[in-house]
Structure formats: C-alpha cells, structure tokens
Structure 1
Amino acid sequence: MKTFYDYYNNKVQLAFDSQPFESYPKHVWVICRYKKKWLLTRHKNRGLEFPGGKVEKNESPNQAAIREVLEETGGEVEQLTYLGQYFVWGKREQLAKNIYFATVKTLQEKNDYYETDGPVLLEILPKNIKTNKSYSFMMKDDVLTYSLDYIKNKAELMYS
C-alpha cells in the first residue's frame, strides 16, 4: 500500500489489491489507450484528464467505468481491467475510487460529451504533467504515477 498527499494536500492511500477500502466504491477513474495512444478528455473546468466519475444508482463500478469512457470520450471499451483502488481523506468528504485500465476499440463522434469537450489523443504523456496548467488536478498526484508504473510492469495490459 502506498500513502502520499494529493494536489490539495489530502491524505491518499493506494493499493493494487481487490477492493482494499470499499467493496462498492462510488467513483471510478479509467486510464485509456486507443490505437497505441493515450485517450484523455478535456474537462470543461479542470483540464485534461482520464475519464471517470460517479457510479450511478443500480450500476456496478465496472459498468460506470465503461459508461464514463463512452460519455466523456465517445470511446467504446473493448477490454476493461481493474487495477486497484485509492482512498482520499478530503477536507469535506472521504471517498474510495476504483482505478481501471481500458483499451478502446472505436471512437464515435458525439454531439454531447457531458461535462467535457470530448476526446484528446496523446502519443505520450508529458513529463511535466504535475506543473502543466493544461492538466487536471487529478493527473498531478501519485495515483497516476503509481498506476502507470503498475501498467508498465504488466505490459500485456497495454497492448492486449
């Protein structure tokens, strides 16, 4: 288990285990690849980030992950892999969030991407994400760093 502080100095714990904090978390975050590129979305207020959001009533976290990718990027998930979960001790709320890795098979253009401006494809993620104002606060803490390392160590996820 990893413990660190996020962009807003909230304590975060991260584990690449099966549901270490909550068996039914209310939030999801999906690191996506499409045709060997990173698939992000541009949130209208926060900037560039991987898709994610809240689990809706009568929906599983896996279903929420697939829905959020489609809503925010137009991406149809081909393969979804659970990576881990993190817990944030925020000043106003505490929450657990599942982290997934998804390969996307198609991108469909949509009229509405909800709270985002749609898909953004990147060959590489820049090394300066933590200081780059174009990126959301969600991309600036060690959840991303540790998750990318975990994916890299399990390279078959990235290219399957």
Structure 2
Amino acid sequence: MITFKDYYQNNVKLSFTKNPFSKQPKHVWVITKYKHQWLLTKHKDRGLEFPGGKVEEGEKAEDAAEREVYEETGGIISNLKYIGQYFVDGKGGEVIKNVYYAEVDQLIKQPTYFETDGPVLLDTLPEDIQESSLFSFMMKDAVLPQSLKVIKKMEANSLR
C-alpha cells in the first residue's frame, strides 16, 4: 500500500490488490491506449486527463469504465485490466476509485462527449505533468506514475 497527499493535500491510500477498500467502488479511472498512443480526453474545466467518472446505480465498475471511455472519447475497449484501487479521505468526503488499463481498438466520433471536448492522442506523456496547466489535477498525484509502473510490468510479462 502506498500513501501520499493528492493535488489538494487530501490523504490517499493506493493499493494494487483486488478491491482493498470496496467491492463496489463508486468511481473509475481508465488509463487508455489507442494504437500505441495514450488516449486522453479534454475535460472542459480541468484540462487533459484519462477518462473516468461515477459508477451508476446497478452498474458494475468494469461496465462503468467501458461506458466512460466511450462517452468521453468514443473509444471501444478491446482489453480492460484492473490495476488497483485508491481511497481518498477528502475534505468533501471519502472517494473510492478503481483504476483500469484499457486498450482501445476503435474510436467512433460522437455527437457529444458530455463534459469533455473528446479524445486527445499523445505519443508520450510529458515528464512535467505536475507543472503543466494543460493537465487535470487528477494527473498530478502519485496514482498515475505508480499505475504506469504496474502497466509497464504487465506489458513486459505479456511479451514473455
């Protein structure tokens, strides 16, 4: 388990075991790739971020992850993998969020991307995300770099 402060100085616990904080989290965040590029979305208020959002009533977290990717980017997921889960003890309450890694094999243009301006493809993620005003606060704590380490190991293992 990794503990740290997020962008807003809330206490965060991050674990890469299966559902350490809740079997039914209320939020998801999906680190996505499309044809060897990072697939992000541009949130109208927060900036560039990976897709994610709330799990709707009666919905499984995995289904929410697929829905959010589709709604915010038009992406059709071909492979979804659970990465971990984190718990934020925030000033406005507690948040438990599953983190997934998804490979997208198709982007379908949407008439609306809801609260986002749609898909953004990047060849690489910049080293200075924490200092960049282009990126959402969600990209600026330890969840992303720690999750990327897990993804890198998963990808290396799949090549064996």
Same fold (TM over 0.5): yes
For residues 120 and 26 of structure 1, do their structure 2 counterparts lie closer, same or farther at Cα, with a shift above 3 Å needed? same
- 1:1-160 matches, within 5 Å, as 1-156=1-156
TM-score by length of 1: 0.97
1:72 shift after superposition? 0.1
CA RMSD of aligned residues (A): 1.2
- Secondary structure of 1:130's partner? helix
Taking only the aligned residue pairs, the percentage that are identical comes to 55
The letter of the residue matching 1:25 is: P
Alignment gaps of 5+ in structure 2: none
Alignment gaps of 5+ in structure 1: none
Q: Is the 8 A contact 1:151 1:158 kept in 2?
A: no
Deviations 1:19-43 (A, max 9, x none): 0001100000000000000000000
The letter of the residue matching 1:50 is: F
The letter of the residue matching 1:83 is: I
Distance 1:4 1:47 in 2: 23
Q: Number of matched residues?
A: 159
The letter of the residue matching 2:132 is: N
Return structure 1 stretches of 4+ with deviation > 3 angstroms.
156-159
The letter of the residue matching 1:117 is: D
Distance 1:34 1:158 in 2: 17
Q: Is the 8 A contact 1:28 1:97 kept in 2?
A: yes
Distance 1:33 1:158 in 2: 16
- Secondary structure of 1:125's partner? coil
TM-score by length of 2: 0.97
Distance 1:115 1:157 in 2: 36
- Secondary structure of 2:114's partner? coil
Distance 2:78 2:9 in 1: 35
Q: Is the 8 A contact 1:72 1:118 kept in 2?
A: yes
